[in-house]
Amino acid sequence: MKISIASDHGGVDLKAALVEFLSGEGVQVEDAGPATRESCDYPDYAIKVAMAVAKGTSDFGVLICRSGIGMSMVANRFHGVRAAVCATVDGAVTTRQHNGANVLCLGADLISCDYAKEVLKAFISTPMDMSERHARRREKLERAQRLSDVSLLARADPEVFATIEAHTVQEDTEINLIASENFSSRACREAAGSVLMNKYAEGYPGRRWYSGCVPVDAAELMAIARAKELFGAEHANVQPHGGSAANMAVYFAVLNQGDTIMSMALDQGGHLSHGSPVNFSGKIYNIVSYTVDPKTEMLDYDTLERQAMEVRPKLLLVGASAYPRTIDFARVRKICDKAGCLMMVDMAHIAGLVAGGAHPSPVPYADFVTTTTHKTLGGPRGGMVLCKEKYAKAIDSAVFPGMQGGPLENIIAAKAVCFREWLNGDKAGYAAQVVKNCQVLCKTVQDRGYRIVSGGTDNHLFLIDVKATKGITGKDAAAALDAAGIVANKNTIPYDTESPFKTSGVRVGTASVTTRGMREAEMIKIGTWIADVLDDITNTVVQERVKREARELAIGFPAP
């Protein structure tokens, strides 16, 4: 056991006595000062001990001032620190058992030296009460930080604070099935909201246009190294602000205006930035769309090959925003080789499945792989390009100075945090569970008579054809689900006869619900609710009932 101890000038004598006492008990003690009775500021010392406990380098902390109160106030501002002022043995025992206190604050003026030893001994020898109710309350205690993290805004900018508060409540109480969304970890959000956002760092690590880039260089190098390790890539550019920017970087790196890109049509599951006429990609390049097979609603690689041989595009792009099936990257590589074109994979949606081994990786095959970092990958909102070494220079100059100015180093640091979560095993089993959950959820809805595009799913999403099943639009279906506390989105389905604004489909994804720890049993509940609501979208009684039940389920699986 290791204990960090500190005091202010008023607690130096008691501290010395307790250090001696703890050493005698065989405890490793770190005395963080002060060494003399000279007047000092208690926060300076409280921070040292609180940091040691927050980092986990010490098991417990002990802080002493005249009352113990100022010390506890400082310590309790640190994540994971639970500091308690104790004047009695009973108090120390209770706060250990119930609150899991890990920093003991003592008032030197309020307690005798001998009794302080007894209080300390009780504190470090009492285990936490692991019963469900106390564990639940401790978890709520820590989760209070979801709001306290932004509570400076409560006064500084109440209007903005209100929106964050409302979104927090929404996350806590709704079932989020939006396939492109996820919950980032708190560690990720801390990096994203950090002081790294204050730094201008145009250029790349080691060759910036600004001074003072040592810390952000380290953060960006870490993000690059971890991205390469996680995906087995030769080169990574972690600066793109989003997935669309990552795609733009690839186009700018290897295409000229008017060059031909072959990509999946938007209404078939492709993305805006794959050549939609309203997007830059559709305005600058010659776009030839491919479709899924009208019968199977899956990619037909023979057809794709024939089309590629005919079109001879400069770049063949695969990857989608609403395609529920595994993509055969090895086969696409062969097509590209035969047609003599570059191969680009946009794995924005499935990056987390690739990272977690639940979808084959495009990295060994594709010349370029682009992705977002916030979808199944579960990191901050942002983008990234992975490519072969021979394209490294072209990609880097396309991103900067080609299309972006200063990179968002705070977001890049958050990307590094996310990659580490994958690499160090925090997310082990997550990707497989996302797919398992998706298949169970899909089957539950399907068994209630709903037509599923392509008949099922291999990944984190599926599409319900509500038009064919119930004669309703995706827009109305999504609105009914929303009223029932289930958030999904309308989506076109292949060969949709409705406008993109109305659509025939609803897209459902399981990345978010899996992040909050839900498994197959919860998917059956949610699938049943979806069918209950869609069976009659005018039935507000059902919507009210589902909303109540969904809320209860959501609260039981707290978002990070």
Ligand X SMILES: *Cc1c(COP(=O)(O)O)cnc(C)c1O
Where in the sequence numbering do the catalytic residues fall? 200, 202, 346, 372, 375, 381
HSE toward the beta carbon, residue 464, CA cutoff 13 A: 38
Sheet holding 83-85, edge to edge: 28-31, 2-7, 60-65, 103-107, 83-85
Contact between residue 324 and residue 292 where contact means Cβ atoms under 8 Å apart: no
Q: Provide the minimum distance between the beta carbon of 242 and ligand X in the complex, in angstroms, as a whole number.
A: 3
Closest CA to 531 of 435, 438, 449: 449
Q: Which is nearer to ligand X, 276 or 372 (CB)?
A: 372
Task: Report which of 263, 414, 266 is spatially closest to residue 342, judged by C-alpha positions.
Answer: 263
Residue placing its CB nearer to ligand X in the complex, 350 or 484: 350
Rounded-to-integer distance, Cα 476 and Cα 533, Å: 11
The least distance separating ligand X from the CB of residue 99, rounded to whole angstroms, comes to 41
Pick between residue 34 and residue 383 the one whose CB is nearest to ligand X. 383
Beta strands in 160-267 (DSSP E): 175-176, 203-204, 207-208, 235-237, 260-264
Q: Where does residue 143 fall: left (phi above 0), alpha (psi -120 to 50 degrees), or beta otherwise?
A: alpha
- The Cα 69–Cα 85 span in angstroms is 6
463 beta partners: 507
Using Cβ positions, the residue closest to ligand X within the complex turns out to be 243
Q: How far is the CB of 244 from ligand X (least distance, A)?
A: 3
Bond from prior residue into 324 cis (ω within 30 degrees of 0) = no
Residue 315 Cβ vs ligand X, minimum distance, rounded to whole Å: 15
Binding site for ligand X (CB under 6 A): 180, 242-244, 271, 273, 319-321, 346, 348-349, 372, 383
**Nearer Cβ to ligand X (184/244):** 244
Asked if 202 and 209 count as a contact pair (C-beta separation under 8 A), the reply is yes
Per the CB < 8 A criterion, the answer to whether 373 and 381 are in contact is yes
Q: Give CA–CA dist 230/412, Å, rounded.
A: 15
In the complex, what is the shortest distance from the CB of residue 383 to ligand X, in angstroms, rounded to a whole number? 6
Decide if 40 contacts 8 (C-beta within 8 A): yes
CB 180 within 8 A of CB 509: yes
Asked if omega into 34 is within 30° of 0 (cis), the reply is: yes
Decide whether 236 or 553 has the Cβ nearer to ligand X: 236
Phi, psi of 364 (to 5 degrees): -65, -20
Are 71 and 42 spatial neighbours (Cβ–Cβ below 8 Å)?
A: yes
CB distance 375 to 220 below 8 Å: no
Q: Which is nearer to ligand X, 346 or 465 (CB)?
A: 346
Backbone dihedral region for residue 188 (phi beyond 0: left; psi -120 to 50: alpha; all else: beta): alpha
CA distance 515 to 229: 23
Integer Cα distance of 28 and 44 in angstroms: 22
Containing 132, the helix (H) or strand (E) segment is helix 132-143
Strands (E), 225-341: 235-237, 260-264, 286-290, 315-318
Whole-angstrom Cα distance, residue 216 to residue 204? 10
Q: Which two tokens stand for residue 168?
A: 């927090």
For 97, 126, 332, 366, 467, the CA distances from 131, given in Å and listed in that order, are 10, 14, 54, 51, 49
